[in-house]
Amino acid sequence: MSKTILITGSTDGIGKLAAIQLAKEGHDIYLHGRNSEKLASVISETKTLSKNEKVKGLVADFSDLEAVSKMAENIVNTVPKIDVLINNAGIYTSKTATNNNGLDIRIVVNYLAAYVLTNALLPLLKKSEMGRIINLSSAAQSPVSESVMMGTERQSENTTYGQSKLALTMWSFDLAAKEPDLTVIAVNPGSLLNTKMANEAYGQHWAPAEKGANLLVDLAISEMYKNDSGKYFNNDKGEDRGVFSPAHADVYDEDKIRQLIEITNKVLGNLVS
């Protein structure tokens, strides 16, 4: 059965590869990117390779949370339902360390944008018989600092990236608990895959991007994972394929999760006050 699937950050890397695979299987695909020309090119490429015309695009700069909210509003007004949301958009290196609100760009793009978008789209996901949310985490995870989240303290790229990914994972578990009718899975798609982000950040890669893309496709549509909400999939473990495994200890700390959600809503509240 054809599904409606939205993949953020899907104009390159594993998001693009997964989108092409899913389009080949006949699904309705919504690609997202921040550059309209690049997005149009990828839409055209995806249609050609998949022979599927049901490929559309959404433009928004995820470092701008107002743009994220506007994109979400557009989706709610034009898309009847969403079966799968893959929060794939991510950033490590950047020419600018902070966004226009003075928040670290990694915290914004990797965590806050997904938080804002997903919460806005929950009504559409709940219209699906088997709504599924896949959040792209990482092997790199660091304890979340309130001052970094609030933009009052700057730390290293590596540390802040790790904080953004742990925050995303903690929130994934919280969302899974609060929305039992949805399947929410956090996933490390694999360390140092051959993607633009990994090569720019580290100047090397260990595994092909397809390793992560193939996993995203499986997690998005396979019946195998319909009962795995509130789990963490680690594609660095296992032999032929990754496995579900324990996440960072903070993911299981209810007090720390509560604090994270409070800080998150405080940050977002400051932006509209």
Residues with catalytic function: 161
CA distance 170 to 247: 9
CA distance 49 to 71: 26
| DSSP string across 42-82 | HHHHHHHHHT---EEEEE--TT-HHHHHHHHHHHHHH-S--
- N-terminal to C-terminal alpha carbon distance within the chain: 44
CA distance 113 to 63: 7
Strand 55-59 with 84-87, pairing = unpaired
CA distance 268 to 159: 22
CA distance 160 to 98: 11
Burial class (CB in 10 A: 0-12, 13-18, 19+), 201: middle
Strand 231-234 with 243-244, pairing = antiparallel
Q: H helices within 88-132, ranges in order? A: 105-107, 113-125
In the numeric block, the tokens 């938080």 are attached to: 115
How many Cα neighbours within 13 Å face the side chain of 58? 27
